[in-house]
Amino acid sequence: MTSTSTLTMFFLTFFAIFSLVASAPAPSPRDVFSPPVLYPGNGTVWRIGHTYNVTWDLKGAPTQITNSIGMIVLVKNHLMIDLEHPLAKGFDIRVARHEITVPKVEPGHDYQILVFGDSGNTGAKFTITK
């Protein structure tokens, strides 16, 4: 690879990441809420097709949340899976749990849950089995 294409790759990657972050309108920092995931946590095992409550911590939540509409995305090896079809969306983030059904994915030990409010927080790595 030439150094030019390496540089191009770098900028494309950079802008791909940046546009994800920048596409949301910037709320005032005190109202921003990225819910920390409590469950699933380290040691959790989920079975494909079963239903679980994802839970998150509301302790750090500002009284006025800019965006109270949440979204839950499955992450594997630090990549978001099927962002077009999140595990859940359109629910109220101020309720500290939401039921999801584990989709048909490759069993693995490197899954994480990402809960979005204004921005996202990934939880601990957990396992999905058949």
Q: How many residues bind ligand NAG (CB under 6 A)?
A: 8
Least distance in Å: CB of 124 to ligand NAG? 6
Q: Is the dihedral of CA 99, 101, 117, 75 positive or negative?
A: positive
Amino acid at 119: S
> Which residues 23-82 are close enough to bind ligand NAG by CB under 6 A?
42-43, 51-53
* Residue number, 81 or 97, with CB nearest to ligand NAG: 97
Cβ proximity of 63 and 108 under 8 Å: no
- Site residues for ligand NAG, 86-125, by CB under 6 A, read 97, 99, 124
Quick one: 47 or 85, whose CB is closer to ligand NAG?
Answer: 47
What residue type is assigned to position 62 of the chain?
P
Nearest to 123 by CA among 35, 48, 17, 52: 35
Tell me which residues touch ligand NAG (CB under 6 A): 42-43, 51-53, 97, 99, 124
